[in-house]
């Protein structure tokens, strides 16, 4: 194998924008919403995609989820409560959502504590999902082992017949989580690797702001 071919020699410089203390909101959620809006308007294909990291017994695990809402100053995503991430969040509710918006040369790290959303909010969101996704939530015991693809498709058929012609209720094992931020770090790529990093930390209900070395 030609190892050199596979080694990343990307030396792209970053020069799109800058982050200056006096020019950003003192409220990091306002800044987050502004950056999210820029990402939505950018050519990046998945502005809402973020990496969720959880940790159990000192062992971290990560996967991509979609941010679905910002409610009560918390970041909302939906999943299976019995999945690996769901089980990890029961044992340790501290988590991180990490966003990367390449075309804007921006990264945001949001750290905080995760709680299950109120069931009425999850019900309303589930009811608005396409029927196939509702069936999927019933058919998939997310993170459990499957014998093969046919087993999953069999479960889909089973729930399609079970709910044929009926409204599909939200499974109790499926719903939303809200991550309440305690630390939000904004990263803006700058030339020569001298990037801007502004970190907001919540202490006694007040957000403090610090600049970090790149
Ligand atoms: C772009 C993208 C978006 C995703 N969004 C979600 C999501 O919103 N909720 C979810 O449960 N899984 C989502 N997934 C799948 C997860 O990455 C993951 O495979 C799944 O949740 C199982 O993770 P776990 O076994 O660690 O619990 C998404 C994957 C990708 C690539």
**In terms of pLDDT, which residue wins out, 10 or 68?**
68
> Per residue in 26-78, pLDDT tens?
999 999 999 999 999 999 999 999 999 999 999 999 999 999 999 999 999 99
- Looking at ligand 1, which residue's alpha carbon is closest to its atom 5? 65
The CATH number of whichever domain residue 90 belongs to comes to: 2.30.110.10
Residue 144 lies in a domain: no
Q: For the residues 118-135, what does the mean pLDDT come to?
A: 98
Indicate the pLDDT class of residue 1, thresholds 50, 70 and 90: low
Residue 179 scores a pLDDT above 70: yes
Whether pTM > 0.75 for this model: the answer is yes
**Does the residue 151 lie in any domain?**
no
Protein residues with CB under 6 Å of any ligand 1 atom:
46, 49, 61, 63-66, 77-79, 83-85, 142-143
Q: Is residue 55, in this structure, part of any structural domain at all?
A: yes
Atom of ligand 1 nearest to the CA of 84: 27
CA distance 201 to 203: 6
In a domain, 24, yes or no: yes
175 C-alpha to ligand 1 centroid (Å): 13
pLDDT band at 3 (very low <50, low <70, confident <90, very high): low
| Catalytic residue IDs | 193
pLDDT of residue 9: 80
Per the domain annotation, does 136 fall within a domain? no
Find the mean pLDDT for residues 117-134.
Answer: 98
* Ligand 1 centroid – CA 77 distance (Å): 10
Residue 81, domain member (yes or no) = yes
The reply to whether 52 falls in a domain is: yes
Q: Which atom of ligand 1 is nearest to the CA of 49?
A: 1
Residue nearest to atom 31 of ligand 1 (CA): 64
Instruction: Give the residue numbers spanning the domain of 76.
Output: 14-123+173-211
Is 116 domain-assigned?
A: yes
Instruction: Domain count for the chain, please give it.
Output: 1
């Amino acid at each position: 194998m030609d190892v050199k071919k596979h080694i990343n020699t990307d030396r792209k410089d970053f020069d799109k924008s800058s982050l200056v203390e006096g020019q950003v909101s003192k409220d990091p959620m306002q800044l987050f919403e502004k950056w999210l809006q820029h990402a939505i308007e950018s050519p990046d294909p998945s502005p809402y995609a973020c990496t969720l990291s959880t940790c159990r017994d000192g062992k971290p695990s990560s996967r991509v989820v979609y941010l679905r809402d910002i409610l009560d100053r918390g970041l909302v995503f939906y999943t299976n409560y019995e999945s690996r991430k769901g089980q990890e969040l029961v044992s340790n509710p501290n988590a991180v959502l990490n966003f990367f918006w390449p075309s804007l040369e921006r990264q945001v790290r949001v750290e905080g504590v995760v709680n299950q959303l109120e069931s009425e909010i999850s019900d309303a969101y589930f009811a608005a999902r396409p029927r196939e996704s509702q069936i999927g939530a019933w058919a998939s015991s997310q993170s459990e082992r499957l014998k093969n693809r046919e087993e999953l498709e069999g479960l889909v058929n089973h729930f399609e017949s079970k709910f044929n012609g009926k409204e599909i209720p939200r499974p109790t094992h499926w719903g939303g989580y809200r991550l309440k931020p305690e630390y939000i770090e904004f990263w803006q790529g700058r030339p020569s690797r001298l990037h801007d990093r502004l970190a907001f930390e919540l202490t006694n209900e007040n957000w403090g702001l610090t600049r970090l070395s790149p």
